[in-house]
Amino acid sequence: MKKKDDIKKILAILDRTYPQAKTSLHFQNPLELLVATILSAQCTDERVNQVTAELFKKYRRAEDYAQAPLTALEEDVRSTGFFRNKAKSIKGLGQALVERHQGRVPETLEELVKLPGVGRKTANVVLGAAFGQPAVVVDTHVGRISRRLGLTAHEDPVKVEFDLMDQLPQDKWTNFGFQMIDHGRKTCTSRKPKCEICPLSDLCDFARSK
């Protein structure tokens, strides 16, 4: 595990470098973010935002998703890829919200992950960005950079999440995830990380080993 002083330095650099970090998915309420995050699997946020610009006009409530013909919903989300599975999850999500939560998105991880198509990553995105709760989002960027920095040795996203929760101050959990996603897209890329311009290189096990 990383030394506490090093973690403080990492967090300070991320705050300076990405002071406005947040999800790039467009949403106006928790339901919209929940649906958008499900659609973002194996799809760019830019494409998801293009699709949801019209989708959210057509489906405004959980009841709308629950009652939608599956074939129509498939067509509405087709361009995000894996559209049959995504449409099935979103329709099931709408039904579950109506049946169990009076059409409202629950505000706990335990309840969110019981919904169709919702794993810990999706639940944490909603908790952090829509409800303002401390939540560590672990996507491929966060996992990769956390391993490179020496914050975890795990590949499993859940184990990475718990390692980060153990080491990071709770009030930094949400920002950290979104900052790392920005950093992964812009600098610490998968194949050719730009270590020579990375502000974290002096604190990074991967950069120092090159």
| Paired tokens of 48 | 């998801």
**Alpha helices per DSSP H over 30-153:** 30-39, 45-58, 62-67, 70-77, 83-101, 109-112, 120-125, 140-149
Told to judge if 9 belongs to the known catalytic residues of this protein, a careful annotator would answer no
Whether residue 68 contacts residue 59, with contact meaning beta carbons closer than 8 Å, is answered with yes
Told to judge if 121 belongs to the known catalytic residues of this protein, a careful annotator would answer yes
| Sign, Cα dihedral of 187, 188, 193, 196 | positive
Closest CA to 119 of 66, 167, 157: 157
d(CA 122, CA 116): 11
| Paired tokens of 180 | 């790392």
Catalytic residue chosen out of the listed positions 6, 15, 139, 159: 139
Q: Is 84 left (phi over 0), alpha (psi -120 to 50) or beta?
A: alpha
Catalytic residue chosen out of the listed positions 2, 86, 121, 172: 121
Between helix 157-167 and helix 173-186 the angle, nearest 10°, is: 120
Residues annotated as catalytic (active site), given as ranges: 121, 139
